[in-house]
Amino acid sequence: MATAEDLQVKPKADVLLQTGPSRPPRNMGQIIRFLLLFAGGILMVMPIAFMISTSLKWPHEVYNLNFIPDEPTIENYIYVLEDGRFYWWFLNSLIIAVITTICSVIFDSLVGYTLCKFRFPGRYIVFIAILSTLMIPTEMLVIPWYLMSQQFGWLDTYWGIMFPGLMTAFGTFLMKQFFETVPDDFIEAARIDGLNELQIWWTVAMPLVRPALAALAIFVFLGNWTAFIWPLIVTNSVEMYTLPVGLSSFGDEADVAWELIMTGAAISTIPTLIVFLIFQRFIIRGVVMAGLKG
Amino acid sequence: MANLRIRDLVKTYDKTQVLHSINLDIDDGEFVVLVGPSGCGKSTTLRLVAGLEEVSNGTIEIAGRVVNNLEPKDRDIAMVFQNYAIYPHMTVRKNIGFGLRSSKASKAEKDKRLESVAELLGMTEYLDRKPSQLSGGQRQRVAIGRAMVRDPAVFLFDEPLSNLDAQLRTQMRLEIKKLHQRVGSTIVFVTHDQVEAMTMADRIVIMKDGDIHQIGTPAEVYHKPANIFVAQFIGAPSMNMIPGRVTGDGTIELATGGGLAFERSLPEGREIILGIRPEDLHPGQASGVIEGSVNVREPLGHETLIYVGTSNGDVIAKADGRTPPEIGETVQLGADPENLHIFDAATGEALA
Ligand SMILES: Nc1ncnc2c1ncn2[C@@H]1O[C@H](COP(=O)(O)OP(=O)(O)OP(=O)(O)O)[C@@H](O)[C@H]1O
Ligand SMILES: [Mg+2]
């Protein structure tokens, strides 16, 4: 999603390069910085450009690495959108990503808040234990997850796909750090005003870390929307596939239908754009400080 | 409204005791100021009364009821914090109304209460603003308003004015005092500013290192300090301290040279410390007890502070604003015997 920002950097770099000759470069460092950002922007945009380009090609042209298709077509889009399975997968992914996002935003901030604002024995150990799970890659976890799902009969169910992501170590860490910025005075004042701890968390602490919640929501949504390995392993039936798993099944073993996969991928970026646009509104800084001092 | 009784209050963090057996009785409607240097345990005392910290030993009674084991919300108190602690994401109305959330009053009653508090504080026109659109003084008023709507038995203030600039602080000081006169509730006010303490308090509690050193009206702590610490803490510039010794005929021999007749009889040979406030020490009297030359002059307009060098270091005195002695001039400083304070050199306690 960083692409949206990177795209904005490009015109800036252009302007600088154009005005370069007429005005002597005041600052070499600045030029280098722009060039690096420009290169970074290109790197980010390339795959997306190729994705769109490929989705507009006929199958025989897919392996020509030209940007502009010789005979552009929207056949692929029509094919994908007429294929009933696509809607299933899209819906599966949406349900899973939305529920997971809501759950992990709530659970991560609950746990983060507790670890940040309460003193209790073993608090540090719990925190370290949660953090240490960050060091284990998903690839290693899928086997125990699979065995567990098998035992409990969760294979090929929404619950089976979702359960590993309902709470995240990263989110817990992020929220704990952000709750540090909420002054204890706010919490104590609310306590004196008669709120219980859950109410304090919800009405006082949560609104003050809204930017962090928005960032976390974007991360979790994207992570789950694009998750591939675990959904691939835990699902069996085509109707339970998520979008990335479903798209990868286009074509047959001998011949992967890249143009269809890219078409599906292009369509599937739309919800991520929407989520980004919704939540980035909340990322406003300096909300906490306004209640303090003069 | 209610009285507050603190009995043998002890607070220990891990292994360090930060309050050593505090005793304090505050009457209904009294304005009591806790004052003392940083780290002396003022906030800790207040937080124990509020129920934000657990009491290690002793009892706290509010309106005749031991509250040691009650939740803050059940203690019938309200607290105003140094940082105001008003919520930036809520309007002034919501912030003030926050104190009424747990009240069982009807919506109409709550609204009425909120309006009347806002009016009392002059905040009516700001009710729909967010804290970020208010000045420091207005924010502080919101914080006070939130405490007031609940009509608590005891108000607790923890250095509520220390974030304001000097002028606003003086103004808010007066407003809080007026407010107290109007509502007549019991107030415990913490500050480390002795001027705030002197101007606002019915009684001042002077603390140091987790102990109370003196409890008294502003006049009492100023005119009859219980010990050297209190004597130097109250009043600015602080009281001159000159070591001395009681001689045979009942006079006091000062380290700066010179003797001093003293009405009260003290045992011979006793090591004492003589305290004289700069405002009680004036140059030009022939019967001066201290002699020295003027080192520094600090003109304050209506009077001038002079620093007079003696064999015991500089002594501060107040001279006339118009015709202060010149620098280098030798002056005789004298004081009214009534304004002399005698302390025991070993214990620092005031001697009768
Ligand atoms: N949570 C805590 N854990 C350990 N020690 C503490 C804690 N809170 C306060 N103290 C100690 O207790 C002592 C009294 O602190 P307190 O906050 O009551 O001081 P204060 O009189 O309010 O000072 P100030 O004027 O700086 O606010 C200090 O020495 C402080 O270090
Ligand atoms: Mg304090």
Residue of chain B with shortest Cα separation from A186: B85
Average pLDDT along chain B: 89
Summarised one tens digit per residue, pLDDT across range B138-167 is 898 899 899 888 888 999 999 988 888 888
Angle between helices A258-280 and A84-117 (to 10 degrees): 40
Find the angle CA(A18)-CA(A19)-CA(A22) to the nearest 5 degrees: 120
Position in ligand 1 atom list of the atom nearest CA B44: 18
Give dist(CA B276, CA B108) in Å, integer: 59
For the Cβ of B37 lying below 6 angstroms from any atom of ligand 1, the answer is no
Domain shared by B160 and B245, yes or no: no
Give dist(CA A264, CA B186) in Å, integer: 70
Domain shared by B245 and B194, yes or no: no
Nearest-CA distance B132 → chain A (Å): 5
Residue A42's pLDDT band (boundaries 50, 70, 90)? very high
State the average pLDDT over residues A229-250: 90
Nearest to B85 by CA among B162, B155, B173, B144: B144
Instruction: Tell me what pLDDT residue A15 has.
Output: 42
Find the angle CA(A133)-CA(A136)-CA(A140) to the nearest 5 degrees: 130
For the Cβ of B41 lying below 6 angstroms from any atom of ligand 1, the answer is yes
| Percent of the residues in chain A that have a pLDDT greater than 90, as a whole number | 45
Where do runs of H (alpha helix) occur along B234-277? none
Give dist(CA B4, CA A103) in Å, integer: 47
Nearest to B38 by CA among B166, B190, B167: B190
Residue A3's pLDDT band (boundaries 50, 70, 90)? very low
- Phi and psi for B287 in degrees, rounded to 5? -85, 35
Nearest-CA distance A194 → chain B (Å): 5
Yes or no, beta carbons of B84 and A288 under 8 Å apart: no
DSSP B227: B
On the question of pLDDT at A255 being above 50, the answer is yes
Average pLDDT along chain A: 84
Angle between helices A210-225 and A169-179 (to 10 degrees): 170
Could you give the C-alpha distances from B297 to B106, B242, B278, in angstroms and in order?
64, 21, 13
Instruction: Tell me what pLDDT residue A247 has.
Output: 85
Look up the CATH number of the domain holding residue B298: 2.40.50.140
Give dist(CA B137, CA B143) in Å, integer: 10
Cβ-Cβ contacts under 8 Å, A201 against chain B: none
Residue B352's pLDDT band (boundaries 50, 70, 90)? low
Nearest to A166 by CA among A232, A97, A227, A113: A97
Question: Per the domain annotation, does B79 fall within a domain?
Answer: yes
Nearest-CA distance B158 → chain A (Å): 11
Domain shared by B110 and B225, yes or no: yes
| β-pair partners for B60 | B6
Nearest-CA distance B345 → chain A (Å): 43
Q: Domain boundary residue among B204, B233, B262?
A: B233
Domain shared by B222 and B264, yes or no: no
**CA–centroid distance, residue B14 to ligand 1 (Å):** 13
State the average pLDDT over residues B225-253: 88
Burial class (CB in 10 A: 0-12, 13-18, 19+), B24: buried
Summarised one tens digit per residue, pLDDT across range B267-326 is 788 889 999 999 998 887 666 678 889 999 999 888 999 999 988 889 999 998 888 888
Place of tokens 């309050």: B19
Domain shared by B57 and B138, yes or no: yes
Instruction: Tell me what pLDDT residue A22 has.
Output: 53
Q: Which of the pair, A21 or B318, is modelled with greater confidence?
A: B318
- Residue B78 CB partners (closer than 8 Å, separation 6+): A192, B99, B146, B147, B148, B150, B152, B154, B155, B156
- Residue A153 CB partners (closer than 8 Å, separation 6+): none
Yes or no, beta carbons of B86 and A291 under 8 Å apart: yes
Least confident of A65-69, A149-153, B93-97, B119-123: A65-69
Per-domain residue ranges for chain A?
25-73, 84-293
| Percent of the residues in chain B that have a pLDDT greater than 70, as a whole number | 97
Give dist(CA A261, CA B343) in Å, integer: 92
Find the angle CA(B118)-CA(B124)-CA(B125) to the nearest 5 degrees: 155
Structural domain range at position B263 = 240-344
| Percent of the residues in chain B that have a pLDDT greater than 90, as a whole number | 51
Yes or no, beta carbons of A291 and B87 under 8 Å apart: yes
Query: Atom 8, ligand 1: which residue's CA is nearest?
Result: B44
On the question of pLDDT at B327 being above 70, the answer is yes
| β-pair partners for B65 | B62
Give dist(CA B40, CA A22) in Å, integer: 67
Nearest-CA distance A289 → chain B (Å): 8
Domain A84-293 grouped into CATH 3.40.50.2300 = no
Q: How far is CA B98 from the centre of its chain?
A: 30
User: Tokens standing for B338?
Assistant: 């009534």
Q: Element (H or E) spanning B326, and its range?
A: none
State the average pLDDT over residues B346-352: 87
Yes or no, beta carbons of A192 and B139 under 8 Å apart: no
Could you give the C-alpha distances from A52 to A48, A55, A71, in angstroms and in order?
6, 5, 14
For the Cβ of B11 lying below 6 angstroms from any atom of ligand 1, the answer is no
Question: In 3-state terms, what secondary structure has residue B332?
Answer: strand
For the Cβ of B43 lying below 6 angstroms from any atom of ligand 1, the answer is yes
Cβ-Cβ contacts under 8 Å, A191 against chain B: 52, 71-73
State the average pLDDT over residues A169-190: 92
Question: Per the domain annotation, does B349 fall within a domain?
Answer: no
Cβ-Cβ contacts under 8 Å, B131 against chain A: 290-291
Question: Per the domain annotation, does B115 fall within a domain?
Answer: yes
For the Cβ of B192 lying below 6 angstroms from any atom of ligand 1, the answer is yes
Instruction: Tell me what pLDDT residue B218 has.
Output: 95
Instruction: Tell me what pLDDT residue A99 has.
Output: 96
A9 residue type, one letter: V
Instruction: Tell me what pLDDT residue A293 has.
Output: 40
Residue in B72, B82, B131 closest to A192 by CB: B72
**CA–centroid distance, residue B81 to ligand 2 (Å):** 10
Residue A26's pLDDT band (boundaries 50, 70, 90)? low
Question: Per the domain annotation, does B352 fall within a domain?
Answer: no
Question: In 3-state terms, what secondary structure has residue B172?
Answer: helix
Residue in A183, A193, A210 closest to B101 by CB: A193
Nearest to B317 by CA among B278, B268, B259, B276: B278
Give dist(CA A87, CA B273) in Å, integer: 92
Domain shared by B42 and B59, yes or no: yes
Please state, as a whole number, how many other Cβ atoms lie within 10 Å of the Cβ of residue B200.
23
Contact A19, A51 (CB under 8 A): no
Strand pairing report for B282-283 and B330-334: antiparallel
Give dist(CA B197, CA B157) in Å, integer: 12
What residue ranges in B107-255 does DSSP mark as E strands? Answer: 154-158, 186-191, 203-208, 211-216, 240-246, 252-254
Yes or no, beta carbons of A294 and B163 under 8 Å apart: yes
Residue B219's pLDDT band (boundaries 50, 70, 90)? very high
Instruction: Tell me what pLDDT residue B1 has.
Output: 57
Q: Which of the pair, B172 or A144, is modelled with greater confidence?
A: A144
Q: Domain boundary residue among B233, B250, B270?
A: B233
B196 residue type, one letter: E
Instruction: Tell me what pLDDT residue A169 has.
Output: 92
Instruction: Tell me what pLDDT residue B217 has.
Output: 96
Domain shared by B194 and B271, yes or no: no
Question: Per the domain annotation, does B124 fall within a domain?
Answer: yes
Find the angle CA(B247)-CA(B343)-CA(B262) to the nearest 5 degrees: 45
Domain shared by B65 and B213, yes or no: yes
State the average pLDDT over residues B111-128: 90
Instruction: Tell me what pLDDT residue B288 has.
Output: 67
Q: State the total domains in chain B.
A: 2
Domain shared by B175 and B299, yes or no: no
A236 residue type, one letter: N
Domain shared by B249 and B209, yes or no: no
For the Cβ of B15 lying below 6 angstroms from any atom of ligand 1, the answer is no
On the question of pLDDT at A14 being above 50, the answer is no
Summarised one tens digit per residue, pLDDT across range A198-210 is 999 999 999 989 8
Place of tokens 């008003």: B86
Q: How many CA atoms lie within 13 A of B73 on its CB side?
A: 16
Nearest to B215 by CA among B61, B82, B68, B45: B45
Domain shared by B198 and B246, yes or no: no
Buried/exposed code over B68-104 (b: 16+ C-beta within 10 A; e: otherwise): eeeebbebbbbbbbbbbbbbbbbbbbbbbbbbbbebe
Domain shared by B149 and B219, yes or no: yes
Where do runs of H (alpha helix) occur along B184-324? 194-200, 218-223, 228-233
Contact A59, A257 (CB under 8 A): yes
Instruction: Tell me what pLDDT residue A283 has.
Output: 61
Yes or no, beta carbons of A294 and B164 under 8 Å apart: yes
- Is B102's Cβ below 8 Å from some Cβ in A? yes
Give dist(CA B189, CA B196) in Å, integer: 10
Position in ligand 1 atom list of the atom nearest CA B11: 12
Pocket test for ligand 1, best of B10, B11, B12, B13 (most atoms within 8 A of CB): B13
Look up the CATH number of the domain holding residue B109: 3.40.50.300
Cβ-Cβ contacts under 8 Å, A293 against chain B: 83-84, 136, 163
Summarised one tens digit per residue, pLDDT across range B158-191 is 998 888 888 888 888 888 898 899 888 899 999 9
Instruction: Tell me what pLDDT residue B43 has.
Output: 93
Q: Which of the pair, A146 or A69, is modelled with greater confidence?
A: A146
On the question of pLDDT at A246 being above 60, the answer is yes
On the question of pLDDT at A73 being above 60, the answer is yes
| β-pair partners for B204 | B33, B216
Question: In 3-state terms, what secondary structure has residue A114?
Answer: helix
Residue of chain B with shortest Cα separation from A187: B85
DSSP A120: -
Give dist(CA A69, CA A78) in Å, integer: 17
Instruction: Tell me what pLDDT residue A289 has.
Output: 41
